[in-house]
Amino acid sequence: MDEARKLKHEGNRRGSSERGAEGQLTQGKYYLRSGAKFFEYALKLQEVKVAYQEKNDIQHAHSFGDNCITTLSQTSSLIESTIRAFQSAGSMRLAALGCKMASVVHLTVYRLQHRKLQSFYSELFTPGRSPETRENGLTPPIDPNSNLNSNSSKDAAMRKHLLKEMEHTLRGFEMWRRYEAYKVSVLPRVTNPVILDPAVFFEDLEAELNQS
């Protein structure tokens, strides 16, 4: 995390000291390197979350999961901020790289949010599955031990996660469409933004930035 912040600050410094297109390109590349480090950090947060889930430590799992999603959301914004700068500086290859990288990060949020939603969905009432359903099986049975406030809270959480999933899904595929519109080959081994090998992604990203 500290390394990611340092790279972003260095990008700001270099962008201010180097004028014109060269400064824009330098700052943008530092931002992409910073974004890669933030992305890597977010994936580690997800690993920690899973470890806590396996221990049935729900509180810590939620905390690390939320931090992961927040970090990914901020990372996608950081990466997207480079695209227009690269375009202005005349580097369509780096602009395409920014779009593809942003797509991957957005759709990582989608994947993680979808897993979270699946846990919610598994608890939902399904009409007709139980003989105890009422009103022709279209309404869940009344649970005498149910807590209305708890149910409302769960519904609100589900809506929040669903909206975030939709937001990042749409934005992720929009970024991929924009990447394809450049008709420039970057990160050629990343052929599907939803199915990602992080080791390949980070290796190829560093190679792309080094050749710029």
pLDDT tens profile 49-92: 999 999 999 899 989 999 999 999 999 999 999 999 999 999 99
- Distance CA(94)–CA(79), nearest Å, equals 11
Share of the chain above pLDDT 70, in %: 81
Kindly report, residue by residue over 94-103, the tens digit of the pLDDT. Answer: 999 999 999 9
- In the structure encoding, which two tokens stand for residue 123, read together? 């608890």
Q: Indicate the pLDDT class of residue 137, thresholds 50, 70 and 90.
A: very low
What integer pLDDT is reported at residue 20 of this predicted model? 87
What integer pLDDT is reported at residue 142 of this predicted model? 47
In the predicted model, what is the mean pLDDT of residues 138-167?
64
In the predicted model, what is the mean pLDDT of residues 134-145?
48
Which carries the bigger pLDDT value, residue 108 or residue 166? 108
What integer pLDDT is reported at residue 151 of this predicted model? 61
In the predicted model, what is the mean pLDDT of residues 153-160?
73
- How far does CA 188 lie from the centroid of its chain? 20
What integer pLDDT is reported at residue 135 of this predicted model? 47
What integer pLDDT is reported at residue 18 of this predicted model? 86
> Mean pLDDT across the chain, nearest whole number?
85
Q: Indicate the pLDDT class of residue 187, thresholds 50, 70 and 90.
A: very high
In the predicted model, what is the mean pLDDT of residues 137-145?
49
